[in-house]
């Protein structure tokens, strides 16, 4: 009677967890990872009973033979026999972990995990499975949290393992994550379920084993409920991390804009965010540009954040690594796959005014039109927008539209003497990445007479004696085509 009560309590707990987190639907195919230890043996039995009594499920028993211990063969036979007893399909993979360790340069734990999960995913794909069930329990969660704490992890690590997580279009589910190992061992013993003991779990040469065998017992001297405390910490951190992810997502949609494969935002709106959200937003942007490869390097994220929040320099470029760059241009922060390339040099000579001139190097088009004077031309003399007017009779031809050259100067209207074009860009706060796409217009005497969208010179100004006006407008090629 006691064993049945134990089984019912365990099933009730798993069913509650499954309902709370949506772990499966009726008739789902589930790959159950069974090592042969008490945890996975209990998982297979509980899921089998749930499938018989409550929710029909198609269970596939999957086992990995690591081939490193003498008892590996016996473990495989134990699991094979269990699958046969329950009438379940059995899948097994024999792994050459040492060879993979040499090939990848990874340690045993990481190498074994890689190969194990690769096999489970391959099996899930073959069977069209909705999920892979793993037997991680509350003690595993406590070890994971402590391990991440010692590595200096943030909330993302402290929350430990998730009960349900999507990986490669398959759900990884952990129905036992809130159940402690002693309960699972008790369940197996009371029901007479045979299981294997992995002798390698008794060696503290592996980091996780050292946490379980040495660190947790030591901390237990100061807190007898250390495992429960760590599991509780994981639950709290998990909920708060989820909340912060949602807040960061809202901030992303409110602040971040996309253009030409770049992501950018304005500094003032970013500074209004809490520091925690500032970090989250940078992390979210980097992860987006990294095609889903999670970037968790705190120092890298903080370096970018501090560069944004300090006021010493308003233009800088930072190589983030992985082909990514972050650039500050005054009050704008840009993230991109690679630094912007400089435009190619170009020169277009015009012997006379032409209706339009295409400049494919910068994706622009110059429209030119000779008109009679209009009073609006007397008030639009600066060329601050990408159009300008000149007294056609005073212009010295040929005109040359070209890329900017080092040392270019211009006689600016309203200013005595000449000024370097570079300084004009700086004063106008033109972002460095944009400057290479702005041409200069030079007259037949070699004078820079117009920087489209920035300034115009004192040359050939429209006045009361003007009889013909040359009106010029520089537009994006795409904009013109759309019109």
Tokens 């370097």 sit on residue? 420
Every domain range in the chain assigned CATH 3.30.465.60: 257-336
Asked if the model's pLDDT at residue 280 lies above 90, the reply is yes
Would you state the pLDDT for residue 382?
45
Is residue 285 within 8 A of residue 335, CB to CB? The reply is yes
- With a CB cutoff of 8 Å and minimum separation 6, the contacts of 5 are none
Q: What is the pTM of this model?
A: 0.70
pLDDT in tens, 433-447: 778 788 999 999 999
Would you state the pLDDT for residue 2?
45
pLDDT in tens, 303-340: 899 989 987 767 888 888 777 889 888 889 999 886 55
Every domain range in the chain assigned CATH 3.40.50.620: 2-234
Q: Edge to edge, what strands does the sheet with 399-402 contain? A: 347-350, 399-402, 440-442, 448-451, 455-456
How does residue 380 score in pLDDT terms, banded at 50, 70 and 90? very low
Q: Which residues are annotated as a binding site for ATP?
A: 35-40
C-alpha 156/C-alpha 35 separation (Å) is 28
Mean pLDDT of the chain: 87
Is residue 365 within 8 A of residue 302, CB to CB? The reply is no
The CATH number of 257-336 is 3.30.465.60
Would you state the pLDDT for residue 479?
42
Asked if the model's pLDDT at residue 295 lies above 70, the reply is no
Would you state the pLDDT for residue 69?
66
Provide the percentage of residues in the chain whose pLDDT is more than 90. 53
Provide the percentage of residues in the chain whose pLDDT is more than 70. 91
Cα angle 276, 277, 281; round to 5: 125
* Nearest in space to 17 (alpha carbons), one of 124, 158, 160, 173: 173
Q: What is the DSSP letter of 457?
A: B
C-alpha 26/C-alpha 32 separation (Å) is 16
Is residue 62 within 8 A of residue 47, CB to CB? The reply is no
- With a CB cutoff of 8 Å and minimum separation 6, the contacts of 483 are none
Asked if the model's pLDDT at residue 291 lies above 80, the reply is no
Phi, psi torsion values for 255, nearest 5 degrees = -105, -35
Q: Which residues are annotated as a binding site?
A: 35-40
Tokens describing residue 299: 């120092």
* Nearest in space to 37 (alpha carbons), one of 127, 160, 140: 140
Q: For the residues 377-395, what does the mean pLDDT come to?
A: 69
At the topology level, CATH places domain 2-234 in: Rossmann fold (3.40.50)
Every domain range in the chain assigned CATH 3.50.40.10: 347-482
The CB density around residue 341, as the number of other CB atoms within 10 Å, is: 8
Q: Which of 2-6, 163-167, 261-265, 364-368 has the highest mean pLDDT?
A: 163-167
Is residue 62 within 8 A of residue 123, CB to CB? The reply is yes
The CATH number of 347-482 is 3.50.40.10
């Amino acid at each position: 009677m006691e064993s049945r009560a134990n089984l019912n309590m365990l099933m009730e707990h798993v069913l509650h967890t499954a309902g709370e987190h949506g772990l499966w639907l009726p008739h789902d195919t589930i790959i159950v990872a069974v090592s042969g230890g008490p945890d996975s043996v209990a998982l297979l039995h509980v899921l089998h009973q749930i499938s018989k009594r409550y929710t029909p499920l198609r269970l596939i028993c999957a086992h990995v033979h690591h081939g490193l211990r003498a008892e590996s063969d016996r473990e495989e036979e134990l699991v094979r026999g269990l699958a046969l007893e329950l009438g379940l399909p059995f899948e097994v993979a024999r792994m050459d972990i040492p060879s993979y360790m040499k090939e990848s340069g990874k340690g045993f734990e990481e190498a074994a995990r890689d190969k194990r999960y690769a096999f489970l995913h391959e099996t899930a794909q073959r069977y069209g499975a909705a999920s892979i069930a793993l037997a991680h329990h509350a003690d595993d969660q406590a070890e994971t949290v402590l391990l991440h704490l010692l590595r200096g992890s943030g909330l993302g690590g402290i929350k430990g393992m998730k009960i349900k997580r999507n990986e490669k279009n398959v759900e990884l589910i952990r129905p036992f994550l809130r159940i402690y190992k002693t309960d699972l061992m008790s369940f197996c013993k009371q029901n007479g379920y045979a299981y294997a003991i992995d002798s390698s779990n008794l060696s503290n040469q592996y980091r996780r084993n050292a946490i379980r065998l040495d660190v947790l017992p030591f901390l237990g001297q100061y807190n007898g409920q250390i495992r429960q405390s760590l599991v509780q910490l994981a639950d709290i951190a998990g909920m708060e991390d989820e909340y912060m992810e949602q807040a960061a997502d809202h901030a992303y949609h409110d602040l971040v804009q996309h253009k030409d494969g770049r992501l950018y935002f304005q500094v003032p709106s970013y500074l209004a965010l809490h520091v925690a959200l500032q970090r989250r937003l940078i992390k979210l942007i980097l992860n987006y540009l990294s095609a889903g490869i999670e970037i968790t390097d705190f120092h890298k994220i903080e370096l970018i954040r501090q560069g944004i929040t300090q006021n010493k320099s308003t233009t800088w470029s930072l190589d983030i690594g992985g082909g990514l760059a972050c650039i500050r241009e005054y009050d704008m922060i840009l993230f991109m796959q690679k630094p912007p390339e400089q435009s190619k040099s170009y020169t277009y000579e015009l012997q006379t005014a032409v209706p339009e001139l295409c400049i494919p190097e910068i994706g622009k088009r110059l429209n030119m039109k000779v008109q009679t004077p209009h009073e609006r031309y007397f008030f639009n003399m600066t060329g601050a927008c990408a159009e300008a007017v000149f007294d056609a009779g005073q212009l010295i031809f040929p005109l040359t539209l070209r890329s900017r050259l080092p040392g270019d100067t211009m006689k600016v209207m309203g200013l005595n003497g000449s000024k370097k074009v570079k300084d004009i860009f700086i004063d106008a706060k033109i972002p460095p990445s944009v400057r290479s796409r702005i041409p200069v217009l030079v007259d037949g005497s070699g004078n820079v007479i117009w920087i489209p969208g920035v300034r115009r010179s004192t040359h050939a100004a429209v006045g009361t004696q003007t009889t013909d006006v040359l009106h010029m407008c520089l537009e994006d090629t795409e904009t013109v085509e759309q019109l």
